Structure 1
């Protein structure tokens, strides 16, 4: 990643931390999730073009939203099953 643009660097680190936090409840385990996430970010470490970095940040935020949606759906289904029994 380009070290000459600290705002992009901060954004990449922030989205990485957010994705890492979401991995706590991953079905295959936190270690599996963390290693896959680390590989995904490490594969893009040599990108220096700001447009490509911004595109990667947008992609990571999309993935974050998808993971959150899956977690909310899982919780909704659990609550619905609980209340359907009543």
Structure 2
């Protein structure tokens, strides 16, 4: 998969995760778009790979936050 395809896939995945963002989808989308635009002119493959790895890390952190929120909600309801 080319780097361009990886970046587009990363962007789409993050947009999908942003639907449940606590500050609202529009805020999340705006900040995500701004972050991707800031690095749009980067051409060094090593730096782009590092940014993709960082993006995957951020995805894992967002998923962990959602799981924690779900766990706390369940705990509050049943205890």
TM interval, short-chain normalised: over 0.9
Q: TM-score, normalised by structure 2?
A: 0.96
Confirm whether residue 56 of structure 1 aligns to residue 51 of structure 2. Answer: yes
TM-score (norm 1): 0.89
Greater C-alpha Rg:
1
Stretches of structure 1 lacking an aligned partner (at least 5 in a row): 1-5
Q: Give the Cα separation in 2 of the matches to 1:42 and 1:12.
A: 12
Q: What CA RMSD, in Å, does the superposition of the two structures yield over aligned residues? A: 0.9
Q: Which runs of 5+ in 2 are unaligned?
A: none
Match status 1:9 vs 2:4: yes
Instruction: Name the CA distance, whole Å, in 2 between partners of 1:81 and 1:11.
Output: 39
Runs of 4+ in 1 over 3 A off after TM superposition: none
